[in-house]
Amino acid sequence: MQNSVVIDSSELINSAKDVFEIEANSVLKLKERVNENFVRAIDLIYASKGKVVVTGMGKSGLVGRKIASTLCSTGTPAVFLHPAESTHGDSGIISRNDVVIAISNSGETQELLNLLPLIMRFGVPLIGVTGGVSSTLAQKSDVVLDISVEKEACPLNKAPTASTTATLAMGDAIAVCLLKKRGFSYEDFLLYHPSGSLGKGILYKVGELMIKGDSLPIISQEVSFSDAIKFVSEKRLGATLLVDENLKLKGVLTDGDIRRAVIKHPDVRNLKVKEVMTLNPKTIGIDELCAKALSIMEKYSITSLAVVDKNNVPIGLLHIHDLLRAGVV
């Protein structure tokens, strides 16, 4: 039975700080190892016509599962293969078009080494993620990514702590670089997360939520400012779209524009709306995702977007209230 040790709060706080410092330093040292080997690993995965098979035992395996999951959610198909199960049939998950990422801090994990003959037989590219740069795994790998640490955060220097953090960071770096290389967009990311807070409302397109038809607030840019105010008040949307004689969008008049115009022009009786409207308003296409529309609204601190066709003719108005009601957050 373990003996209980009395530790005061200050010692606990200092111990926690030591863990953070050791692990942070271990991750920062990885920056010095981002070299041609790392680029080769990215190129191997990017050029692959199959999936990434991530494998590792124990704590390395747990980190490997997370790396595989992150790759999947950022546009790179990946699965996790348990090395111990691989020799009992699960190795069939590996195909000749795949790339294998094998994780072992020592590089001598026997269950992992047992998988190497099959990888060699298939001629599948092998990326070894290890702290043992002269280990068996390193020698058998096509590319070696060094995740060695000076010491573990564990005071016994035994429990995988700093080493697993470094491995996790290396996996994140791989996923992010592949994301950039693939041109993986914000909309792509949301499509991989259709449930939960990340993708709530993601399936909605602009055309499904926009205001259209008789409810769409459109008037000529040639009307008087006074008439435009009445129109905005009647529609109760806080904005109206202004068009020219060809019905092309020229501007927008919002509640804010009205307030600023009244302050600037004490006498508005002879004022045309085109003199005070906001020119070149932000627009969006009907087939765009509502998530993209919300991103534009947040970026420019606006509450509505004109929806236009390819000729810049307004066909709808998308209001932030409609997005929020639909759960696009």
- Under CATH, which number does the domain 206-325 receive? 3.10.580.10
Segment 287-298 mean pLDDT: 87
Extended strands (E) in the chain: 52-56, 78-81, 99-104, 126-130, 143-146, 218-220, 239-243, 249-254, 278-279, 283-284, 304-308, 314-319
CATH of 9-184, one of 3.40.50.10490, 3.50.50.60, 3.10.150.10, 3.40.50.970: 3.40.50.10490
Using DSSP's 3-state secondary structure scheme, residue 275 falls into helix
Higher per-residue confidence, 91 vs 40: 40
Segment 190-198 mean pLDDT: 57
Evaluate the CA torsion angle 311, 315, 318, 322 in order and state its sign.
negative
* CATH 3.40.50.10490 residue window(s) in the chain: 9-184
Higher per-residue confidence, 171 vs 322: 171
Q: How confident is the model at residue 190 (pLDDT cuts 50, 70, 90)?
A: low
pTM, rounded to two decimals: 0.64
* 14-46 pLDDT per residue, tens: 999 999 999 999 999 999 999 999 999 999 999
Residues 6 or more apart whose Cβ sits within 8 Å of residue 78: 51, 52, 53, 54, 67, 68, 69, 71, 72
* Whole-angstrom distance, CA of residue 167 vs CA of residue 266: 66
* 56-86 pLDDT per residue, tens: 999 999 999 999 999 998 889 999 999 988 7
Q: How confident is the model at residue 100 (pLDDT cuts 50, 70, 90)?
A: very high
Segment 287-303 mean pLDDT: 87
- Label residue 122 exposed, middle or buried (CB < 10 Å: 0-12, 13-18, 19+): middle
- 8-37 burial, b if ≥16 CB within 10 A, otherwise e? eeeeeeeeeeebeebbeebbebbeebeeeb
Q: How confident is the model at residue 199 (pLDDT cuts 50, 70, 90)?
A: low
The length of the chain in residues reads: 329
* Whole-angstrom distance, CA of residue 262 vs CA of residue 170: 58
* Whole-angstrom distance, CA of residue 292 vs CA of residue 277: 25
Written as six digits, the tokens of 12 are 């606990």
Residues 6 or more apart whose Cβ sits within 8 Å of residue 234: none
* 161-176 pLDDT per residue, tens: 999 999 999 999 999 9
What is the pLDDT, as a whole number, of residue 306? 92
Q: How confident is the model at residue 278 (pLDDT cuts 50, 70, 90)?
A: confident
* CATH 3.10.580.10 residue window(s) in the chain: 206-325
